[in-house]
Amino acid sequence: MKAARFSRFGGPEVLEIAELPEPHAGPGELRIRVRAAGVNASDWKKRSGELDQELPQTLGYEAAGVVDEVGDGVTGVRTGDRVAGVGGGGAAQAELAVLSIWAPIPESVGFVEAAAMPSTVETAARALDQLGVARGSTVLISGASGSIGSAAVQLAVHRGARVIGTGSPGSHDYLRRLGAEPVAYGEGMADRVRTIVPAGVDRALDVAGSGVLPELIDVPGGAENVITIADFPGAQQHGVRFSRGDSGRADYAIGVAMRLMGDGMFRIPVGRTFPLEDIAEAHRAGESGEVRGKLVLTVG
């Protein structure tokens, strides 16, 4: 099968489409013929050598496609079903992928839209869980208009929380449509939040990693009420929790979000799609920061 891979660290030019052995579904897993696969910042961090040091490496943790192999012990799904999910093998950007967590794709949702969702939703839901965001909470989300921020806003609103979302002025109408009350980021952000919520917020989530942790700590009244998913050095400096997958996952949220997508109540903005063969261009687009929304590879 064809799969994205790199055999040395470097820029997008090190990426290749290689012929690899077909994977097979083990117990509790299923295999899909991939139709679309999500691209994330962790992909180019791996490629540049910031993460795992083993070589060669494949890429991709989330994909959508059609089930063609079901492992032992798997129930409620059969070959031919459309599903999207995540796999532990890190090789979802390929013609075939093995998934360990999945959810059915509603008829009204396409493969591209479905592939943009799993990792994004799990990350957002995990941070909200760790913050304890629930009905009656008021949460400030910094970087609310990006892929993960958009997911966090919608999931928090679905839980019954009041959401204040930071973003550029051009994103404010979009944030309102998601259910957030928008404020402009930048100097004076905390004062603008207090204008909307004089009593302050209960929790704050940093999605953007743009050096705003001191202000975010001030708004809910303490570092213990703040989580970041994007600023590890800042978290260490300011005593803020850093959310990561090995501290507990929220895979259940993939099914929740998929059902909401089917009802037209949830969406992850897709910024641009690329065929699998153009994965280097997808990395260049992602690293440039010029594309707003999720990047997705199409297969077949």
Q: In the prediction, which pLDDT does 273 show?
A: 97
Give the pLDDT score at 220.
87
Query: What CATH number corresponds to the domain at position 74?
Result: 3.90.180.10
Q: Tell me, rounded to whole angstroms, the distance of Cα 41 from its chain centroid.
A: 10
Domain presence at residue 55: yes
The closest of 123, 111, 156 to 258, measured between CA atoms, is 111
Q: Does residue 69 sit in the same domain as residue 137?
A: no
The parent domain of residue 163 ranges over 122-247
Same domain, 51 and 166: no
pLDDT at 275 (0 to 100): 98
Q: Tell me, yes or no, whether 113 and 128 share the same domain.
A: no
**Domain check: are 195 and 113 in the same one?**
no
List of residues 6+ apart from 34 with CB closer than 8 A: 63, 64, 65, 92, 93, 94, 95, 96, 97, 299, 300
184 located within any domain: yes
Residue 62, C-beta contacts closer than 8 angstroms, at least 6 positions apart: 37, 38, 40, 84, 85, 86, 92, 115, 117, 118, 119
Residue 95 confidence (pLDDT): 97
Domain identity same for 129 and 228: yes
18 located within any domain: yes
Residues 47 and 102 occupy one common structural domain: yes
Residue 223 lies in a domain: yes
Please report whether residue 287 resides in a domain. yes
Q: Which residues contact 157 (CB under 8 A, 6 or more apart)?
A: 163, 178, 179, 180
Indicate whether 60 and 78 sit together in one domain: yes
Q: For the stretch 146-173, what's the b/e string if a residue is b when 16 or more beta carbons lie within 10 angstroms of its beta carbon?
A: bbbbbbbbbbbbebebbbbbbbeeebbe
Distance CA(80)–CA(175), nearest Å, equals 37
Chain-centroid distance, C-alpha 127: 11
In terms of domains, do 83 and 132 share one? no
Best CA proximity match to 112, nearest among 261, 283, 278:
261
Residue-level pLDDT, tens digit, the chain, 300 residues: 999 999 999 999 999 999 999 999 999 999 999 999 999 988 998 999 988 889 999 999 999 999 999 999 999 999 999 999 998 688 999 999 999 999 999 999 999 999 999 999 999 999 999 999 999 999 999 999 888 999 999 999 999 999 999 999 999 999 999 999 999 988 888 899 999 999 889 999 999 888 889 989 988 889 999 999 988 898 999 999 999 876 678 899 999 999 999 999 999 989 999 999 999 999 999 998 888 889 999 998
CA angle 161, 165, 170 (to 5 degrees): 145
pLDDT value for 280: 97
Do 77 and 139 reside in the same domain of the chain?
Answer: no
Same domain, 171 and 100: no
113 and 126 together in one domain: no
Q: Would 263 be classed as within a structural domain?
A: no
Rounded to two decimals, what is the model's pTM? Answer: 0.91
DSSP code, position 246? G
Number of structural domains (the chain) is: 2
pLDDT attached to residue 291: 85
Phi then psi dihedrals of residue 140, to 5 deg: -100, 125
Residues 104 and 136 in one domain: no
**3-state SS class at 6:** strand
